[in-house]
Amino acid sequence: MFAKSMESMMRLLMALSLVVSAGAVQAEETDKAEQCDALGGIVTQLVELRQDGKREKRSVKILTNGKTAVDEKYQPAVQFLSGWVYSLTDDELTYEPGKKYTEACLEQ
């Protein structure tokens, strides 16, 4: 089951990289690490919001509006990442998806 989630995460990573990098200049390695860390952090925040009982739509709003909003350049990614996080089973949430996302992103 976890392998299936990893496969869907890899597909999500590919799609997400197009969204985040659209119109952007090729990122340097340090920029890539920063980007992967930021996106992994968003995944972690989404997991925490889900575990706190927030619905997906509310979580997206929390992370894209107001004082709790993530950096503007990452806001388009929040919707994509929320779809993946909210598709995970409760058991899969215990595998530290944010950390796994960051690791997979860095390997791209």
Average pLDDT over residues 38-66: 96
Q: What is the spatial distance between Cα 41 and Cα 59, in angstroms, rounded to a whole number?
A: 14
Please report which confidence band the pLDDT of residue 9 belongs to, taking 50, 70 and 90 as the band edges: low
Residue 22 has pLDDT above 80, yes or no: no
What stretch of H or E contains 11? helix 2-21
Question: Which is higher by pLDDT, 16 or 46?
Answer: 46
- At 4 the pLDDT is 61
The DSSP output letter for 65 is S
Average pLDDT, the chain: 84
With 60 as the cut, is the pLDDT of residue 12 above it?
yes
Helices (H) and strands (E) in the chain, counts: 5, 0
Give the residue with greater pLDDT, 60 vs 12: 60
Which residues, at least 6 apart from 80, have a Cβ–Cβ distance to it below 8 Å?
A: 12, 15, 16, 19
Q: Is the pLDDT of residue 75 over 80?
A: yes
CB-based contact 42:100 (threshold 8 Å)? no
Q: Model confidence at 108, in pLDDT bands (50, 70, 90)?
A: confident
Over pLDDT 90: what percentage of the chain? 66
